[in-house]
Chain A
């Protein structure tokens, strides 16, 4: 490259490279020097490798980033629904006698939803226990040494618990829909019931996806040989599950107190 080209600022090093001992500045050596790690100091640490070759953690972070963006899109979906909720609640019309009519009648929320919420919160706890089990260092090392697969064993149990609690939540939602329909509060009954059904059903569809992910994670725990694959799948499933739990708390609060 000819020297006629003046490099812009981004090409110049921001801070002088660390030189062992004195860096010529007369000051103390910078403290952010690499202190080895990754076992020995032979320069073969993962953090010295180029981007994309730094071990399974990159895979995990990639999956989490993707999940984050997807959940962000999902959040926008529910934000749209909730916006429509408030607009519809505030809308009315004038009848033939010039009276302002607002047809919104709050839908009575079946009390079983409180129970369902508790169950969903519990399921998030068990999911988190499963997720942490996948990263429990001693168990991971045990597997690395060949002493069975303690991580998958423990995480599998907790994922089953989560699956069971998740199914209980969905069954509870089913009961709630049944209770409402015995009172003839169907989807089309009233603007507020439109929203009760659309919001709860949309959320239930998301939980069905979560249950599918749990089943996929359980199958993978059983059959995959690669620790990273199992960790990524369990981690992603559990974060998704948490997101749906938080979303439900918000949606439930909206339905219970926002009508």
Chain B
């Protein structure tokens, strides 16, 4: 007697279901992105028109400007770019894409989402504690992050920040453990490692990086807490002078030590943010160009290699911080080496669309936009990887332009691509393609219009982290005054970039009011998440992206080979 096992009943309750958790993560990201965007617009308005006063608040004081910088960076880096691609879409799509019915540890999954939500609340609470939000940036460099003497937000606000990020680290590590175990252990029959979609590979790599990086951050946060409250001096020099107070500490700590620990986390962190977008871009371009992914195994290798190299390049954030010049050379080499796998990925994307007559859906144009931003933002990477050039550029807006193009905007384009592409799976209805196109063009035009000129103001000498750039006497003032027209342009563009998101909101609203219901495989995709629901257990019979020459026929991963003549097995 041969038993044919059938699809089991759900083994978990609705509240620990990975869809619930995924939507929870997306809700966290949405509230963070809304707040973070408002903060950035306030920053831009203040930079361009220092006299401008925030409604219901008054003019923005220098320390408030620094608080805006800090909270904007923290919200966007941690709660948007880490949470949404990796954990939000990771939960919503990953299990279906590997043919699993669940995540490996559903309760742990819910717990990590709850911890992340609490972390967000704690971070928001920094706005209302005495002294307000912290002002030492999302990198929290000591010695200014070790004492409330440093500024108004460095007391309670900094403690709230520490608590929030510590919770976030714990939540992210738990989520990454869950993702890794799910991918290693829960793949369905036939889903071999080389048949995994590149999205899964990038989630896998990013989860590995999370486990490695967030633990180190947690250790660093613990030590910083001890420095703040328990009288240790890991990151504090023997003697320091802070705001008119001479402080002496036992021991010979060093702020540079914090930089090492923080950037050991911080650089992998930016790859955690961007890798899911890279994997998705590969799959979406392949799907709409109706081409297989060129050099599939090499793409898997480059994904892993980018993750691996991402761990050993942290020193390039510290060229001007007093790093040993020999260490600087080593980090410059490893940083430039990362251009090799990144270029391999770009070449594969270009080869896929090259003369392919791609079907330009909204998801596809956002993926192409991702490629564009990845190239435009990436090209300044090797420049900043040179210690000599970085010495001049490091504290200018050049760096701000660089990381906003390659990480922030490319990451956001990856998120939009995911939203348009998977919306039918998430809500059983499709978004309007026409409004989607309007959204895309508005976003890409104003994204470039906002962040590309930052390179020029940076080259001209505009420093970052400065609350005010006007009214300065001497040659500095003349220099900075020359950048003001471009700065106003950037601010107007940033406002327009914000407005360009209105079509997206309209699109979401229309999908509620006038839903276009769809459940079928809308994009003729080949990956498992689009498999129709059947009673059979899912199984994969081939790798993703099998299309016929003309692109009209395709062989999805879940379809059994019809006969041995196909050569399938």
Contacts and interface: CB of A to CB of B under 8 A. Distances in A.
Pair from one complex: yes
B566 A80 contact: no
B387 interface: no
A231 B139 CA distance: 44
Contacts of A62: 104, 181, 185-186
Given A76-B216, A91-B252, A69 B180 contact: yes
Interface in B103-123: 104-105, 108
B542 A42 contact: no
Interface in A21-44: 42-44
A50 B218 CA distance: 40
A4 B250 contact: no
Contact of A188 (B223, B231, B252, B561): B231
A2 B176 contact: no
Contacts of B219: 77-78, 80-81, 84
Contacts of A225: none
A187 B559 contact: no
A11 interface: yes
Interface in A61-100: 61-62, 65-66, 69-70, 72-81, 83-84, 87-88, 91-93
A162 to B, nearest CB: 24
B548 A4 contact: yes
Contacts of A194: 226, 232-234, 251
**Chain B at the A interface: SS class:** loop
B13 interface: no
A81 B108 CA distance: 26
B556 to A, nearest CB: 9
A3 B542 CA distance: 14
A12 B237 CA distance: 64
Contact of A51 (B188, B250, B553): B188
B212 interface: yes
A11 B253 CA distance: 58
A136 interface: no
A44 B1 contact: yes
Interface residues of A, number: 56
Given A73-B211, A77-B216, A91-B253, A1 B195 contact: no
B254 A187 contact: no
Nearest to A194: B232
By CB atoms of chain A within 10 A, which of B186, B194, B251, B549 has the most? B251
B433 interface: no
B211 A58 contact: no
B537 A52 contact: yes
A191 interface: yes
Contacts of A73: 173, 176-177, 211-212, 214-215
A91 B541 CA distance: 59
Contact of B250 (A83, A188, A202): A188
B94 to A, nearest CB: 15
B2 A44 contact: yes
Contacts of B482: none
Contacts of B543: 8, 10-11
A70 B177 contact: yes
Contacts of A146: none
Interface in A100-142: 101-104
Contacts of A189: 250
B187 A51 contact: yes
B100 interface: yes
B360 to A, nearest CB: 24
A2 B547 CA distance: 10
B185 A58 contact: yes
A189 B232 CA distance: 8
A17 to B, nearest CB: 9
B184 interface: yes
B325 to A, nearest CB: 19
A47 B565 CA distance: 28
A66 B214 contact: no
A175 interface: no
B252 A103 contact: yes
Contacts of B292: 8
B189 A51 contact: yes
Interface in B176-230: 176-178, 180-181, 184-189, 192, 194-195, 211-212, 214-216, 218-220, 222-223, 226, 230
B569 A84 contact: no
B567 A103 contact: no
B555 interface: yes
Interface string B226-261: 100011111001100000000000111110010001
A35 to B, nearest CB: 18
A42 B1 CA distance: 6
A10 B543 CA distance: 8
B375 interface: no
Nearest to B181: A66
B185 A5 contact: no
Nearest to A48: B2
B218 A77 contact: yes
A49 interface: yes
A220 interface: no
A102 B250 CA distance: 10
B555 A5 contact: yes
A132 to B, nearest CB: 24
A83 B566 CA distance: 57
A76 B215 contact: yes
A93 to B, nearest CB: 5
A53 interface: yes
Nearest to B547: A5
Nearest to A78: B219
Contacts of B546: 5, 7
B496 to A, nearest CB: 42
Contacts of B231: 187-188
Contact of A191 (B186, B218, B252): B252
A10 B192 contact: yes
B254 A91 contact: yes
A6 B549 CA distance: 10
Contact of B261 (A3, A80, A103, A190): A80
A236 B420 CA distance: 41
A198 B231 CA distance: 13
Contact of A187 (B226, B548, B549): B226
A44 B211 contact: no
A84 B220 CA distance: 9
9 contacts: A5-B546, A12-B567, A58-B185, A74-B215, A103-B251, A104-B251, A187-B231, A187-B232, A194-B226
Given A5-B546, A50-B189, A187-B230, 20 more contacts: A1-B553, A3-B565, A5-B555, A7-B566, A10-B195, A52-B101, A70-B177, A72-B211, A73-B173, A73-B211, A76-B212, A77-B215, A84-B257, A84-B261, A91-B251, A93-B238, A101-B238, A103-B238, A191-B252, A202-B222
| Nearest 10 interchain pairs by C-beta | A188-B231, A80-B219, A76-B215, A191-B251, A91-B252, A77-B215, A66-B181, A73-B211, A13-B569, A80-B216
